[in-house]
């Protein structure tokens, strides 16, 4: 029996804190306009159907945007709390099928979500540039496939690198979330 039959985790999530988490993650230095980058931004009410989704207006270029504009979370049917849970489960290395079971979603929907999350939360944000001394956490080298297909799939599988990136994102989110909930 999936755990979701016992506890509906999504129903216990706090929408306000989910949006606060996104804001903290994408704008750690304060809200900036995704169009022109200006920090000269004023709040402009909230989304009509999602009361915790803050809208903004840029005083420099007059463009309007909100918490999710320019992220993979924008324009999707699933509420933000479902995306946050999905990212969390990805960090626990759950399969798409397991995540689908926990969230009560179709596997195909979850597959689409995890693919998008692996490509990066904020698809249109500039790539991070590494400078100075860089430390790599883990490197898996697959020496041979013989007799160990599970190990190969687990460590060097087709989306190994992408999965690693997703786990890093998820870990960072959990860290941020702990800080914001503290
Ligand atoms: Zn602007």
In this structure, which long-range contacts are made by residues 100-108, counting pairs with CB atoms below 8 Å and at least 24 apart in sequence? 101/2, 101/4, 102/2, 102/3, 102/4, 102/9, 103/4, 103/10, 104/4, 104/10, 105/78
67 plus 81 within the same structural domain? no
For residue 171, being part of any structural domain is answered with no
Bridge partner list, 46 = 54
Q: Are residues 66 and 91 in the same domain?
A: no
Spatial distance between the Cα atoms of 37 and 41, rounded to a whole number of angstroms: 10
Each residue's pLDDT expressed in tens, for the chain with a length of 182 residues = 566 667 788 888 899 999 999 999 899 999 999 999 999 999 999 999 899 999 999 999 999 999 999 888 887 778 899 999 999 999 999 999 999 999 999 999 999 999 988 887 654 444 455 667 766 666 666 566 666 666 656 655 444 455 556 656 666 665 554 444 43
Helices (H), the chain: 9-12, 15-26, 80-91, 96-103, 107-118, 149-156, 160-181
Residues with CB under 5 A from ligand 1 (ion): 33, 35-36, 38, 58, 60-61, 63
Whether 77 maps to a domain, the answer reads yes
Task: Kindly state whether residue 148 falls inside one of the protein's structural domains.
Answer: no
- Is residue 138, in this structure, part of any structural domain at all? no
Ligand 1 center from residue 54 Cα (angstroms) = 16
Q: How far is the CA of 39 from the centre of ligand 1 (A)?
A: 8
Domain count, the chain: 2
Residue 92 and residue 27 in one domain: no
Q: Are residues 44 and 77 in the same domain?
A: no
Is the domain of 64 the same as that of 77? no
The residues with which 65 forms a beta bridge, in sequence order, are: 56
Tell me, what's the pLDDT at 179?
A: 47
Residues 95 and 51 in one domain: no
- Per the CB < 8 A criterion, the answer to whether 61 and 86 are in contact is no
Is residue 87 within 8 Å of residue 99, measured between CB atoms?
Answer: no
Structural domain contains residue 142? no
Q: CA geometry: angle at 103 spanning 98 and 105, to 5°? A: 90
43 Cα: distance to centroid of ligand 1 (angstroms): 13
For residue 9, what pLDDT is reported?
82
Q: If you measure from the C-alpha of residue 57 to the centroid of ligand 1, how many angstroms do you get, rounded to a whole number? A: 8
Interval between CA 59 and ligand 1 midpoint (Å): 7
At residue 120, the pLDDT reads 74
Question: How far away, in angstroms, is 127 Cα from ligand 1 center?
Answer: 20
- In this prediction, residue 43 carries a pLDDT of 96
Distance of CA 48 from the midpoint of ligand 1 (Å): 22
Q: Could you tell me the residue range of the domain that residue 85 belongs to?
A: 73-125
C-alpha–C-alpha distance, residues 84 and 82, integer Å: 5
Ligand 1 center–CA 19 separation, angstroms: 21
Return the pLDDT at 170.
Answer: 62
Query: From the CA of 104, how far away is ligand 1's center (Å)?
Result: 39
The pLDDT value given to residue 182: 36
């Amino acid at each position: 029996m999936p755990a979701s039959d016992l506890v509906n985790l999504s129903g216990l999530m706090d929408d306000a804190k989910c949006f606060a988490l996104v804001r903290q993650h994408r704008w750690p230095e304060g809200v900036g306009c995704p169009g022109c980058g200006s920090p000269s931004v004023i709040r402009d009410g909230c989304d009509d159907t999602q009361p915790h989704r803050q809208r903004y207006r840029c005083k420099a270029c007059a463009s309007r945007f909100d918490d999710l504009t320019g992220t993979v979370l924008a324009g999707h049917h699933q509420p933000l709390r479902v995306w946050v849970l999905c990212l969390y489960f990805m960090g626990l290395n759950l399969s798409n099928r397991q995540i689908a079971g926990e969230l009560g979603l179709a596997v195909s929907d979850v597959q689409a979500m995890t693919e998008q999350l692996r490509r990066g939360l904020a698809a249109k944000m500039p790539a991070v540039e590494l400078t100075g001394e860089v430390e790599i956490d883990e490197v898996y080298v697959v020496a041979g496939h013989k007799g160990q297909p599970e190990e190969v799939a687990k460590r060097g599988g087709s989306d190994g690198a992408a999965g690693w990136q997703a786990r890093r994102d998820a870990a960072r989110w959990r860290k941020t979330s702990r800080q914001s909930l503290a």
